[in-house]
Structure 1
Amino acid sequence: MKIVGISGSNVGSKTRTAMNYTLSATRKKYPDAEITLLDLAEYNMVFSDGRNYSDYEGDTKFVTETIMSADAIIIGTPVFQASIPATLKNIFDLLPVNAFRDKVVSMLVTAGTAKHYLMVEQQLKPILAYMKAHIVQTFVFIEEKDFLRKEIVNDDVLFRIERLVEDTVMLVDAYVKIREAKDAEYDF
Structure 2
Amino acid sequence: MKVVGLSGSKVGSKTRTAMNYTVEALTKKYPDAEVTLIDLAEYEVQFSDGRNYKEYEGDTKYITQTIMEAEAIIIGTPVFQASIPATLKNIFDLLPVNAFRDKVVSMLVTAGTPKHYLIAEQQLKPILAYMKAQIVQTYVFIEEKDFHRKEIVNDDVLFRIDRLVEDTVLLTETYTEIRKKREEKYDF
Which secondary structure state, in structure 1, belongs to the residue aligned with residue 102 of structure 2?
coil
Q: Does 1:118 align with 2:115?
A: no
1:159 maps to 159
1:100 maps to 100
Shift of 1:173: 0.5
Aligned structure 1 segments of 4 or more residues deviating by more than 6 angstroms: none
CA distance in structure 2 between the partners assigned to 1:186 and 1:110 by the alignment? 44
1:62 maps to 62
Shift of 1:180: 1.0
Task: Report matched runs for 1:8-157 at 5 Å.
Answer: 8-157=8-157
Shift of 1:187: 1.6
1:172 maps to 172
1:42-62, Cα deviation, whole Å (9 max, x unpaired): 000010000000000000000
Which secondary structure state, in structure 2, belongs to the residue aligned with residue 174 of structure 1?
helix
Q: In the alignment, residue 84 of structure 1 is paired with which amino acid? A: I
CA distance in structure 2 between the partners assigned to 1:174 and 1:37 by the alignment? 23
Compute the TM-score of the two structures, normalised by the length of structure 2.
0.99
Q: Does 1:181 align with 2:181?
A: yes
CA distance in structure 2 between the partners assigned to 1:37 and 1:10 by the alignment? 14
Shift of 1:41: 0.2
1:23-66, Cα deviation, whole Å (9 max, x unpaired): 00000000011000000000000100000000000000000000
1:93-112, Cα deviation, whole Å (9 max, x unpaired): 00000000000000000000
Which secondary structure state, in structure 2, belongs to the residue aligned with residue 87 of structure 1?
helix
Shift of 1:69: 0.4
Shift of 1:185: 1.1
Stretches of structure 2 that go unaligned for 5 or more consecutive residues are none
1:7 maps to 7
CA distance in structure 2 between the partners assigned to 1:28 and 1:99 by the alignment? 28
Q: In the alignment, residue 114 of structure 2 is paired with which amino acid? A: A
Stretches of structure 1 that go unaligned for 5 or more consecutive residues are none
Shift of 1:184: 1.4
Shift of 1:125: 0.1
Which secondary structure state, in structure 2, belongs to the residue aligned with residue 11 of structure 1?
coil
Which secondary structure state, in structure 1, belongs to the residue aligned with residue 101 of structure 2?
coil
CA distance in structure 2 between the partners assigned to 1:158 and 1:16 by the alignment? 14
